Structure 1
Amino acid sequence: MAVLKRVQQWATFARIWHIYDAAWQNPFESAGVLKKYLTGLYKPIYHPMNDCGDHIVVINSAEIALPGDEWKKRVYFHHTGYPGGATWTLAWELHEKDPTMILKKAVYSSLDKNLQRRYTMQRLHIFPDANVPSDMLKSISNQIKQLRLVPKRLDTYSEEEIKSFPKIYDYPKPYILK
């Protein structure tokens, strides 16, 4: 085998490291995208029995956005295995305890009933903020595009931007409170 072909084969089967920013993203929609990279579905060598998935580093999982009133209505079930060990936890309570758990559970359930999903989940590295160990940052070579744009918060606008914003209506002087 020629040296060039050997290197090409190594590159084909190599595990790539991706980074994904979960700020303001729906975890259930993000799980479908992350599944594609974790299992290697996008690779031409993919086969269901072939373990060719990549590593994914997810940052800012503490800033995920659930649609509607899912924070109050979505419930997560856990059972300890002992009699009376069933608990139901609301999404906002679970997110307060562990900001990575909702995204982790969403990705785990998106992997269906795959026999390799426990081992696949070991390649998913979730962090609640942007603090990632330096050895992981050195390995990252690709960025996964966010599904929706992150809106700019009102407290981040400068005074110049606020004053230059076009007004819809000018209030009369007596109605302005200072």
Structure 2
Amino acid sequence: MTTKTYLPTQDSLEQKWYVVDAADQRLGRLACEIASIIRGKRKPIFTPHMDTGDFVIVINAEKVQVTGKKASQKLYRNHSGRPGGMRTENFAHLQNRIPERIIEQAVKGMLPKNALGRQLFKKLKVYAGPDHPHMAQQPEMMTINTLPKGDN
């Protein structure tokens, strides 16, 4: 007698929408939790090679925090593809210019580096302010406690 391994089908998948407030959250800890939700690791039907995760909407991306001197020392690199086309800017400058990109880059680095990871990344929606255009999906508010005890 052989037993079959259970594989979720697209019909059995229920993909929810969650809203995460990034205000006063630590960047790395927040990105780790978001990547886990997008990947579907919190569900009992998690399958490594399938998209079983949920959609995540991040609001208040402009208020995300980093510890220590990372605001002035953490560098974000971008290359145009041309010789000498490398551009760098630090965390503080990028946070003023495009705050959404900071969270997008952090979460993207925690997803698989293949076609599945690119598909999962499309489930992340990041907005600088408190408003988002996804009210029709009836997202649930999710609280992520990333502040360690005694850290202010």
Q: Calculate the TM-score normalised by the size of structure 2.
A: 0.83
| Aligned sequence identity (%) | 26
CA contact (8 A) 1:59 1:129 kept: yes
Task: Structure 2: give runs of 5+ residues left out of the alignment.
Answer: 1-8, 148-152
Post-superposition, which runs of at least 4 consecutive aligned residues in structure 1 deviate over 6 A? Answer: none
Q: How does 1:101-116 map to 2 (within 5 A)?
A: 101-116=101-116
- Equivalent residue pairs, number: 139
Residue 142 of structure 1 aligns with which residue? 140
Relative to structure 1, the CA distance from residue 70 to residue 63 in structure 2 (aligned partners, 3 Å threshold; closer, same or farther) is: same
Task: Structure 1: give runs of 5+ residues left out of the alignment.
Answer: 1-8, 150-178
The 3-state SS of whatever aligns with 2:109 is helix
Q: How does 1:1-178 map to 2 (within 5 A)?
A: 12-133=12-133, 136-148=134-146
- Greater RCO structure (CA 8 Å; 6+ sep): 2
Measured on the aligned residues, the alpha-carbon RMSD in Å equals 1.8
Q: Calculate the TM-score normalised by the size of structure 1.
A: 0.72
| Matched residue type, 2:142 | I
1:113 to partner: Cα distance: 2.3
CA contact (8 A) 1:59 1:128 kept: yes
The structure with more helix, counted as a fraction of residues: 1
1:143 to partner: Cα distance: 2.5
Max Rg structure: 1
CA contact (8 A) 2:39 2:54 kept: yes
1:45 to partner: Cα distance: 1.3
